[in-house]
Structure 1
Amino acid sequence: MSEVRLAEELQLGRSPIRSALSRLEGENWVRVFPQSGTFVREVDPQEIEELAELRLLLETHTTRIAAMHISATELEQLRGEFDVLKAKGAEDHIDDFWALDDRFHSSIYREAGNRRIEEILRNLKDQIRWVRAATATLPGRVTESLLEMDRVLDAMEARDPDAAAEAMSRHIGNIANSFKTMPRDQFSRLGKTDDKA
């Protein structure tokens, strides 16, 4: 799809489209080829491993700290949201699951109290969401993720920072391992599109 076509479809000028595509290119989501167009970049399995490694380092650390500092009110609210979603069934309410997943991880980032780490993780959020959405296509993965996050929450409620960090490590590791078990043809389609952007 051309810049002109995007501008027409979105009823915007070409300048904001060009800026958006430039940002996407800067974030390595698309590749721009002069005279050919802009293409959604194919997924590199190495990038998934690197993202998982970065998350393991940062999120297990923030989870350990947050377990000691998170407020009882925040824990109570998260517990209520988890219980509602478990009762409804996460697989059948995927939008609710995504919202809870975002809120849960954001709460941990915030409660850890390190603004720099929080900023780094928030900047990775789009990539994390993409990985999450891709693995959600695997049968049972959403339910497994909810149970894994529930274990993190259990440890945080017990004010056990080591158990919370270990549960988060298992959760992130399982997501990364889900990529390794995805059928190669399904994996190779991720990030591809027939249309030029």
Structure 2
Amino acid sequence: MRLVPNSLHHQVAATLREEIFAGALTPGSFLDEAALCTRLSISRTPLREALKVLTAEGLLRHEPRRGCFVAEVTQRDLDEIFPVIALLEGRCAWEAASNASEADLDALAILHAQLEAHAKAERINAYYATNFAIHEAIITLADNRWLAQAIGDLRKILKLARLQQLKAPGRLQQSLAEHLAVFAALKARDSEGADAAMRTHLHRQREALRALALTRKSRLAS
């Protein structure tokens, strides 16, 4: 891959970010600067600027005299982040219930029909993509750039772990029911109900991730 020198370090950051989210760069792995420069056909300067961007986003951790490693999301991280993002996305749902037009609700209805189809077929990756699109649509409808910015920053960290929760037994159907509850409140223009349903949805995501972590720990111990 050869990158064009146009805001080069931003392009490098975007490339590495996607590789992290795709799992090509795994949590805890070391980023070999020389190898990356060769692979991306770039010099050390834009690479190091890109690494600074990703470190600031929380996707990398920098260790003095050692270099950069892909961040590992800990249970403590999840415990601290989920209550915050639940409040923020709950507020988005609250505002979206007032702001959404009939056309907006029609567009959301199409997305929810897709979500139901993916859940029925147990297409986890497709479900996650549609789920993400629904959350993005609600954030857009809230029309609050400060909320959008804060949520965007936290989502970059949660994206490292969030897809896993859909693999918990029964979680796919539970998640669908939670989404439908949010959508029902939006259609009813019930801001308080939309807020509460969205917060419940986010808290249950955390519970599913905790259950998965306990299951893995139990398997390793046995």
Q: Normalization by structure 1: what TM-score? A: 0.82
What letter corresponds to residue 208 of structure 2 in structure 1?
Answer: S
Does structure 1 residue 150 correspond to structure 2 residue 180? yes
Aligned-residue identity in percent? 28
- Residues 50-107 of structure 1 show CA distances to partners (whole Å, capped at 9, x for unaligned) of 2111112211122112112111111111111211331343663333323322221122
Q: How does 1:66-105 map to 2 (within 5 A)?
A: 66-89=96-119, 92-105=122-135
- 2:152 is matched with 122
- 1:9 is matched with 39
**From 35, 43, 64, the counterpart of 2:94:** 64
Q: Quick check: 1:66–1:108 contact (8 Å CA) kept in 2?
A: yes
Query: 1:88 & 1:80 partners in 2: Cα distance?
Result: 13
- Of stretches 29-38 and 120-129 in structure 1, the one that deviates more from structure 2 is 29-38
Larger relative contact order (CA 8 Å, sep ≥ 6): 1
Deviation at 1:5, TM superposition (A): 0.9
Q: Quick check: 1:65–1:161 contact (8 Å CA) kept in 2?
A: yes
What letter corresponds to residue 156 of structure 1 in structure 2?
Answer: L
Query: 1:183 & 1:57 partners in 2: Cα distance?
Result: 24
Q: How does 1:132-143 map to 2 (within 5 A)?
A: 132-143=162-173
**From 50, 54, 61, the counterpart of 1:20:** 50
Query: 1:140 & 1:12 partners in 2: Cα distance?
Result: 46
Q: Quick check: 1:135–1:178 contact (8 Å CA) kept in 2?
A: yes
Query: 1:178 & 1:31 partners in 2: Cα distance?
Result: 26
Q: Quick check: 1:90–1:146 contact (8 Å CA) kept in 2?
A: no
- 2:82 is matched with 52
Q: How does 1:180-191 map to 2 (within 5 A)?
A: 180-184=210-214, 186=216
In the alignment, structure 2 segments of 5+ residues that lack a partner are 1-30, 218-222
Query: 1:88 & 1:99 partners in 2: Cα distance?
Result: 10
Residues 43 and 123 (structure 1), Cα distance of their counterparts in 2 relative to 1, 3 Å cut: closer
